[in-house]
Amino acid sequence: MDRFARCKILFGDNFAKIQNAKILLLGVGGVGGFCLEALYRTGVGHITIVDFDTFDVTNQNRQLGSENIGAIKVDSLRKNREEIEAINIKITPSWVDNFDFDKFDLVIDAIDDMKAKVAVANRCCDKLISSMGGAKKLDPTLIQTSSVWKTHGDGLAKKLRYELRKSGFSGDFDVVFSAESPKCQGLGSFMGVTGSFGLTLASLAIKKILA
């Protein structure tokens, strides 16, 4: 039996769609890292990851690979995974404007920078899934998916909608969000929630690939 034997049992003939899928994952931190892990282990054949950061000790409460302090995130996560292409660069509106999104079936936004999120939405909303705010929360059972225009109780989603309208955006795309009220000030985070955001992104991505 191969490493995807149990995936093939679940997906049957549709597993070929997963192996042929081309996914672009923007950001591989506390959310994106778990999304990557799930997509890779499910058999997605072509994954490109983009991030500019290195691991530091403050990542160790939530980020896969963060035991490698000082390592470039995308290089560390790509190690021993031939299916993954790594791009070590900061995702900015300028980079988004000049990047070729056409070769990807799906784009997953797991980045924090608001200007970059808006730029990505304006470039490729027809193939986009985006993560909203997973920090400051404790209950993964409150995570939901919906249109970006239909979220509630998620501060980052509210801010994104405002910035999208200001940019003239009139499209639509699905997001992962949580209506749970913030439990702290600052950058507090719990792996049980941020990781679940990433796994929910991966689940939504697989559903879209199969559809």
What order do you get walking across the sheet with 106-109 strand by strand? 84-88, 46-51, 22-26, 106-109, 128-131, 174-178, 143-147
Q: How many domains does the chain have?
A: 1
Q: How far is CA 111 from CA 5, 17, 42, 53, 124, in A?
A: 32, 26, 22, 11, 15
State percent of the chain over pLDDT 90.
91
CATH of residue 58? 3.40.50.720
- pTM here is 0.96
pLDDT per residue as tens digits for the range 83-94: 899 999 999 999
The parent domain of residue 107 ranges over 5-210
Would you state the pLDDT for residue 1?
A: 67
pLDDT per residue as tens digits for the range 13-71: 999 999 999 999 999 999 999 999 999 999 999 999 999 999 999 898 898 889 889 99
Task: Give which of 182, 126, 129 is closest to 155, Cα–Cα.
Answer: 182
pLDDT per residue as tens digits for the range 99-129: 999 999 999 999 999 999 999 999 999 999 9
